[in-house]
Chain A
C-alpha cells in the first residue's frame, strides 16, 4: 500500500503485516491441529458451553471447527483469499470470545474468585489458561485479522484476491 511514507517505513510496515499474516495463520494452524488430534476432548469441552441441544449439531461443530481453523491457517500462511479469510476469522473469533467471557463469568460467580484468577480449558486448543490472558490474546488476534482485512499483508501471497475488484 502506498501511503506516502518514506520507503523504509513502508517496507517495515509491509513486512510487519506479512509477519502478522503468518503469525495469525500459524496460530490457527496450531490450535486447529491440536483440536483435530483430540476431537473427543474438544467435543467434551464444546459441550460445556451448552450451545446446541442436538447431538448431531454438536458433533458437527466439534468435527468441523478444528479442520476449518486449519484450512483458514493454511490460506493465511500461503496468502490465498487473505481478506476473506481475515473476515471469516473475525466473525468466528468475536462470538467465541463472547462465549468464553460469559463462561468465565459463570465460573467466577460459582467459585467466588477474582475474574482474572479464573482458569479453565476453553477449548481453544491451548489447554487450561487464565481468562484475562485468553481475552487479551483473542483481542490481539482480532486486531491482526482487522489489519489484514484492511488490505495489508499482501506481499509473498500466492493469490491475495480471489475476487478481483473491477477496475474503473
Chain B
C-alpha cells in the first residue's frame, strides 16, 4: 500500500516537473523569439520604425467608424454604408483640408503643358514594387511608409510645383491620403495637394498610358495589359 502511494507521488512529481519544463521552455521561446524578432525587424529592409506614426490623422482605415463631419447632412442618413464612396472620400479629405479630383480633372492636369515643366507634379504613393510595375508617366515615386527614401527627390519638386496630384491604387487604398498629409506636414501648402481617388486602377481600366520601371524610363505598357 505504502509502495503504491510512493509510486503515485513519484508519478505526480514527474508530471509536475514535465509541466514546469514545458512552461520554462515556452518562456524561453517567447523571450528568445521576441529578441530575435526585433533584431530581424531592425536589419530588414522592410522593417518598421517603431516610433513613427504611420497613420497620421486617422488615415489607413479601410472602414471609418464614423461618417466624416464634412459629409452633407442628407448623406448621413441611417444607412451610411450605402453612401457613394467618392462622396465619402471627398468629405474625409475635405475634413483634412485636401481636395479630391476625378479622372477627368486628372487627365486635364496630365495634358496641361505645365506638367512637362514640373509646375504640375504627379506623385505615386504606392510601394516600389507596384510603382515599377506601372505608374502614370512622369509620376514621382513616394511610398509614404518609407518617406526618408524619397524626400530628397520629391520634396524640392513639390515645393516648386503649383499643383500636386497624389494617387495610389484606388478603391480602398488611402495611401494617397497618407502621402498628401505627410507632404502637407513637411510644409507643402494644402491648396496645392489634390488626391486622385480612382488611382492607378481607374487610370489603367480606362486604357490611359502607363510607364513601367523608373520615372521617365520611356518604357510604356500597352493599354489593356
Distance to closest chain A CB from B88 (angstroms): 15
Q: Are A165 and B14 in contact (CB under 8 A)?
A: yes
Closest to B173 in A: A44
A-to-B contact residues, CB < 8 Å: 36-40, 43-44, 47-48, 55-56, 59-60, 62-68, 70-72, 75, 81, 83-85, 87-88, 91, 110, 149, 161-166, 168
Distance to closest chain A CB from B182 (angstroms): 14
**Per DSSP, are chain A's interface residues mostly helix, strand or loop, or mixed?**
helix
B48 contacts A by Cβ under 8 Å: yes
The total of chain B residues at the interface (CB under 8 A) is 42
Q: Are A59 and B21 in contact (CB under 8 A)?
A: no
Complex-state Cα separation, A38 to B28, whole angstroms = 27
Q: Are B26 and A88 in contact (CB under 8 A)?
A: yes
Q: Are B37 and A40 in contact (CB under 8 A)?
A: no
Q: Are A63 and B38 in contact (CB under 8 A)?
A: yes
B75 contacts A by Cβ under 8 Å: no
Q: Which of these, B33, B46, B48, B61, contacts A71 with CB under 8 Å? A: B33
Closest to A121 in B: B62
Complex-state Cα separation, A44 to B26, whole angstroms = 29
B6-34, CB under 8 A of A: which get 1 and which 0? Answer: 00001001100110111111111110111
Q: Are A72 and B33 in contact (CB under 8 A)?
A: yes
